[in-house]
Amino acid sequence: MAQQLPTESFDNKIITDDVCTVGTHITECDKDSTDTNSTQLACQRCSSLILDIGKGTLDRHSFNLPAMKHKEEGESLIIDTIDEFLLVKGMYTFENIGFTNSKDGYKYLICADCEIGPVGYCSASNMNLLYVAISRVKEI
């Protein structure tokens, strides 16, 4: 089988025809997407504004994020597979966002006001490409 050469590359994400590699995760993504968020996005818990209109670009790929619930003692970590994200270029683009400590090469995005999360992730080595899980925020 011939090796497919990347058509676009940045950080840990290499985009070929319809395949996207994020770190060690091979996923499908929409490399030609120009869809941006048409509404403001806020925290589901405290309604604090996270992202203003037009600041994120739709990016479809699969990524495993820890569930947005506290695990009980003895309970294993619950993982949710998220398939739709908004790509935000630069941490200063956000109105309100916080970061966790690095874990397995990633930092998780949390609400800076109430600290619920994760609402997204980024590579710990390049915090210029941040991914907000659409299902983890609400439109306002």
pLDDT digits (tens, 9 = 90+) for 64-100: 999 987 667 777 888 999 999 999 999 999 999 999 9
Tokens describing residue 25: 């995760």
How far apart are alpha carbons 16 and 19 in whole angstroms? 5
Say if CB 131 and CB 121 are below 8 A apart: yes
Q: Which of 9-23, 54-68, 125-139 has the lowest mean pLDDT?
A: 9-23
For residue 117, the SS3 value is coil
Q: Enter the pTM of the model.
A: 0.75
pLDDT digits (tens, 9 = 90+) for 24-69: 333 344 444 568 999 999 999 999 999 999 999 999 999 999 998 7
